[in-house]
Chain A
Amino acid sequence: MSGFELLPQQASTQAPQTDLLYLFLVFVSAAIVILIVLLMLVFSIRYRRGSAAPRPELRMLTTREFEIGWTAGALFLALFIFGWTGSVRLSMLAAPENAIEIHVQGKQWMWKIQHPNGIREINALHVPVNEPVRLIMTSEDVIHSFFVPAFRIKEDVVPGLYTQTWFKATETGSQHLFCTQFCGTQHSRMIGEIVVMNHDDYARWLREQPQPGDLAAEGASLFKALGCSGCHIGNSAIRAPSLAGIYGRLVHLSDGRTVTMDDAFIRDCILEPRKNVPAGYDPKMPSFKGEVSDGEILRLTAYIRSLKSTGPSG
């Protein structure tokens, strides 16, 4: 079964594109290497010292023409390859609209995965085949990197930041997940698997998982338990912005910036409220640094996203 392979399995929509670029580059490189090596060999033999080959002087014009010619040729080739690969990159940047959102937290030395309905996995991610999956990732400690060779995707997982990547698996089966940014002692043991299943199997798997309640509902109880509702809902002594339907909207801040209210913004508000004070409000929100974990921030974010314009029901 495991013969001598040169390419890993192509198991995502990205894989054939990456492999095509790779093989093109292999072909071009091989051609250039063979050309140079052949020329060196031919010249070495023909013009070895004492050989009878004629050696008239090279005219300056010929020299100049060749120089300019191959410089221009090399530059053109370089720019052509850039143009092709750059456009492939830009076209594959954004995940499709309907992608399943999976949250990934790397930590020394394991992967913690959260599905949108609250299902959690450790060192494994089950996904349905032929469905786009968007990964929103962060780290709890040092920088790790989420690498699935069969999908040809990789993105670092950084503490203090959310990074993203996406894939659409095209083959069922189990694929290696490697950590590929050196992260300490057990870096080489931080291995997981991506299990791609057909729809029926995936649906069955989902049903079989323990259901802890969805993220947004857990976020709602956290919102109350942590006291957020005290200021952000209804009439309170402290004037705090309403959170109804604001996810994704533009927010004007008191220092003049205008930013989008997204996951990173919400995280900053919870941990560093003084960084993003909305225009017209006082910087009175306390910081919850040290009081909420990354997982709880996830749930609060999910809850806030779920709030419609009519406002939370308390």
Chain B
Amino acid sequence: MSSATLSQEHADSDLPPSEPWSNIAEETEAASFGMWLFLGTEVLFFGGLFLSYTIARFLYPQDFLEAARHTDIYLGATNTIVLLTSSLTMVVAVRGADLGARRLVWICLAATAALGALFLTIKGFEYWEDIREHLVPGRGFAVQGFGATLFFSLYWIMTSVHAVHLTVGVILIARLAWLMRSEPLRLPDLPVYGLYWHFVDTVWIFLFPLLYLAGRA
């Protein structure tokens, strides 16, 4: 990986490697490896939700898809654009770390966190709207049929689990951005944060068609 040689040369990487690693390149490789393993576990975590979605849709196809038409596609699409843009800023941040451009790094990290926070705000507004339209299964649920109940049950669960992951990401990235303003670059951190953020984005890329585009042929 070219980042290894670059990082070893750069003056900013004065921070010593953590135990038990003997150099930054090793630690970066290890950190990325560890994050890939963690993302593997996350695939299985979300996988259980996607399995439940598939089964519910198979059991009650008509009602399920009919209910899917009640999601707010405009807010969903806007959020998709917001999140994809945040992945762009994250990519720039990671590349900037390779090049030692500390100012670029913390600005892009801050932008990523801000866009993530924007996503959450829009999502929060969307939730408020959903509640007002009685799209929460239970008493007063607005849509008929078992398929609809299951669709919205899964909608709330899947989007909240995704939102929790996003929130954790926003907080950690914002923290890193704050630290990067004054401290030397912690090189092993950037690819790790990047991988996590791209994963959260990828999950949304699956959620969006399943929850917003389904039933809207």
Contact = CB atoms under 8 A, between A and B. Distances in A.
Overall SS of chain A's interface:
loop
B61 A274 contact: no
B62 A255 contact: yes
A243 interface: no
Contact of B146 (A254, A275, A277, A283): A275
Contacts of B61: 255
B146 A272 contact: yes
A274 B64 CA distance: 11
Interface string B144-172: 11110000000000000000000000000
A274 B146 CA distance: 9
Nearest to A272: B146
A254 B63 CA distance: 13
Contacts of B62: 254-255, 274-275, 277, 283
Contacts of B147: 274-275
Nearest to B148: A274
Contacts, number: 21
Interface in A263-287: 272, 274-275, 277, 283, 287
Interface string A239-266: 0000000000000001100000000000
Contacts of A274: 62-63, 144-145, 147
Interface residues on A, range: under 10
B199 interface: no
A245 to B, nearest CB: 27
Interface residues on B, range: under 10
Nearest to A273: B145
B60 interface: yes
A159 to B, nearest CB: 14
A1 B216 CA distance: 72
Contacts of B144: 274, 287
A279 to B, nearest CB: 13
B176 to A, nearest CB: 48
A283 B145 CA distance: 12
Contact of B145 (A254, A255, A272): A272
Interface in A96-151: none
Interface in B111-145: 144-145
Interface in B55-99: 59-63
Contacts of B145: 272, 274-275
B214 to A, nearest CB: 14
A287 B63 CA distance: 13
Contacts of B146: 272, 275
Contacts of A277: 62
A255 B60 CA distance: 10
A272 B62 CA distance: 12
Contacts of A255: 61-62
The residue among B59, B62, B144 with the most chain A CB atoms within 10 A of its own CB is B62
A255 B62 CA distance: 7
A123 B145 CA distance: 35
A277 B60 CA distance: 11
Contacts of A283: 62
Contacts of A272: 60, 145-146
A283 B61 CA distance: 14
Interface of A: 254-255, 272, 274-275, 277, 283, 287
16 contacts: A254-B62, A255-B61, A255-B62, A272-B145, A272-B146, A274-B62, A274-B144, A274-B145, A274-B147, A275-B62, A275-B63, A275-B145, A275-B146, A275-B147, A277-B62, A283-B62
Given A272-B146, A283-B62, 17 more contacts: A254-B62, A255-B61, A272-B60, A272-B145, A274-B62, A274-B63, A274-B144, A274-B147, A275-B59, A275-B60, A275-B62, A275-B63, A275-B145, A275-B146, A275-B147, A277-B62, A287-B144
User: Which 3 A-B pairs have CB atoms at the shortest separation, nearest pair first?
Assistant: A274-B145, A272-B146, A255-B61
